[in-house]
């Protein structure tokens, strides 16, 4: 089964400020704020929702097709994806733009100041779904990225009978209520964290029971508290799989989605697939960065046994 991943590809440029922002910001002068923070260097990491999900799927033995747009500076990221055997034919290069990038500065108190340049993400990827993907031969996720892509590709999935996961995430504030409802309606499931679910409810006016008339299931991730799978036949809590150590929760949600997709592609039940998501997410939180974790199949199976309540072998 081919897995299609629509979303963003971005560079995460991370900087460490050795002091505290609060020591350099004068509250009574906030209306004329003009500050400069000298940082201890810059680390560049690969990120973006589509890249993060595809990377973890690669660790799980899949080679998903990424649908996204990037800029003229994409070469190091392209090489990274190519080195992992990921197909590149669904990625559009916009020569006049830079690849989307987040500039994140963190101080000693773990406060962050982030600047985000959407760059090429402002442009749709223009990739078309292949006729061979029609029906149950493919599985897709529509993750946060270019808004036009999110609406168009979810519509194309419905037209072609391709099951897709609706994952609006950070794009919720920018999507209209009508577009959001259209994306959810007909999806295989809706996945979000608890804060995003509340945004969806406020924007659309739909309760969870209302949402279940439009999609068969709603999955809500709850960070260290695990996740909840809600379907018409009931609600199942999926505990988080312990991670040692917990270094950085960033990217755990994308890793969860990768495990979930892998489970569904393998024909597992939704609850069993969600447990795979929990196992995959546990590796991501043990590292700083969203495409830094790594595991072998036997290591994943040990974590999966924990997720299933068994004894690791």
Sketch the domain layout of the chain as residue ranges.
2-18+41-307
Distance CA 172, CA 147 (A): 10
pLDDT of residue 312 exceeding 80:
no
Read off the pLDDT band of 311 (50, 70, 90): low
Q: Examine the residue annotation and report whether 167 is marked as an active-site residue of this protein.
A: no
- Alpha-helical runs (H) found in the chain: 49-59, 75-83, 147-160, 177-184, 194-204, 208-211, 252-265, 270-284, 297-307
Judged against a pLDDT cut of 80, whether residue 313 lies above it is answered with no
Look at domain 2-18+41-307 and name its CATH class: alpha beta
- pTM score, whole prediction: 0.93
Is the Cα dihedral 259, 260, 263, 265 positive or negative? negative
Please answer whether residues 242 and 282 qualify as being in contact, where contact means their C-beta atoms are separated by less than 8 angstroms.
Answer: yes
pLDDT in tens, 260-283: 999 999 999 999 999 999 999 999
Q: Which of 12, 107, 133, 254 is catalytic?
A: 254
pLDDT tens per residue across span 22-57: 998 888 878 888 889 999 989 899 999 999 999 999
Show the DSSP H helices in 4-124 as ranges.
Answer: 49-59, 75-83
Please tell me the predicted confidence (pLDDT) of residue 297: 95
Q: What is the pLDDT of residues 46-92, one digit of tens each?
A: 999 999 999 999 999 999 999 999 999 999 999 999 999 999 999 99
């Amino acid at each position: 089964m081919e897995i299609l991943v629509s979303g963003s590809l971005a560079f995460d440029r991370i900087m460490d400020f050795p002091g505290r922002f609060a020591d350099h910001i004068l509250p009574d002068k906030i209306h004329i704020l003009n500050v400069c923070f000298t940082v201890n260097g810059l680390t560049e990491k690969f990120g973006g929702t589509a890249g993060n999900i595809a990377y973890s799927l690669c660790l799980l033995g899949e080679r998903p097709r990424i649908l996204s747009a990037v800029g003229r500076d994409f070469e190091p990221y392209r090489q990274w994806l190519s080195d992992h055997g990921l197909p590149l034919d669904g990625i559009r290069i916009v020569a006049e733009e830079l690849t989307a990038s987040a500039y994140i500065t963190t101080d000693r108190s773990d406060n962050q100041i982030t600047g985000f340049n959407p760059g090429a993400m402002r442009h749709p990827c223009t990739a078309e779904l292949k006729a061979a993907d029609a029906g149950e031969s493919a599985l897709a996720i529509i993750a946060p990225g270019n808004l036009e892509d999110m609406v168009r590709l979810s519509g194309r999935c419905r037209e072609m009978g391709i099951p897709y996961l609706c994952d609006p995430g950070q794009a919720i504030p920018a999507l209209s209520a009508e577009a959001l409802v259209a994306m959810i309606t007909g999806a295989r499931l809706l996945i979000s964290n608890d804060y995003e679910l509340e945004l969806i409810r406020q924007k659309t006016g739909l309760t969870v029971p209302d949402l279940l008339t439009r999609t068969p299931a709603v999955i809500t991730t709850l960070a260290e508290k695990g996740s909840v799978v809600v379907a018409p036949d009931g609600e199942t809590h999926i505990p988080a799989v312990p991670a040692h150590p917990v270094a950085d929760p960033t990217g755990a949600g994308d890793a969860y989605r990768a495990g979930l997709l892998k489970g569904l592609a393998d024909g597992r039940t939704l609850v069993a697939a969600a447990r795979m998501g929990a196992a995959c997410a546990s590796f991501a939180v043990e590292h700083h960065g969203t495409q830094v974790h790594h595991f072998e199949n036997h290591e994943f199976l040990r974590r999966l046994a924990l997720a299933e309540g068994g004894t690791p072998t």
